[in-house]
Amino acid sequence: MCFEKLQVFFPLLFYIGCVAHYCDLLIKDLIKITEIAEIVDEARELSKFVKAHKYVCALFKAIIKGKSAILTLFPKTRFAYAPLMLERLLRNRTHLEEMVYIRICMYVYMYSRTFM
């Protein structure tokens, strides 16, 4: 290894490896914990649902009006995909709740008009 050759000339030099790689491995290990894996899977499904349905996505974009970042789906191979996806969901939590509230109000309005 290259480090072993360098250590001959610089004995006080130490090698810690790639910190980004260590962080990636740590996050992958954390995501293997059942409770965390369930949260990440549910977050991924929610992001997929919003992005996959044209009208839901349009409503979401109308609500955020450029105030917040759109939900993202990162490939599982992307470094730190889970924390990035969860951060976007948390940042948009109030917008998602507003979207659900609007949808409930629409159903109440539609059903109240059918019984009049």
What confidence tens digit (pLDDT) does each residue in 23-79 have? Answer: 888 888 888 899 998 998 999 999 999 889 888 888 888 888 877 777 877 777 676
Average pLDDT score, the chain: 82
Q: Which residues contact 1 (CB under 8 A, 6 or more apart)?
A: none
Given a cut of 60, is residue 14 above it in pLDDT?
Answer: yes
d(CA 108, CA 77): 43
For residues 90 and 112, the answer to whether their CB atoms sit within 8 Å is no
Q: Name the band, by pLDDT with cuts 50, 70 and 90, for residue 1.
A: low
Residue 80: its pLDDT value, please?
76
Q: Where are the domains of the chain?
A: 14-114
d(CA 39, CA 87): 12
Question: What digits encode the pLDDT tens for the residues 78-98?
Answer: 767 888 888 989 998 988 888
Residue 102 corresponds to which tokens in the numbers above? 């609007």
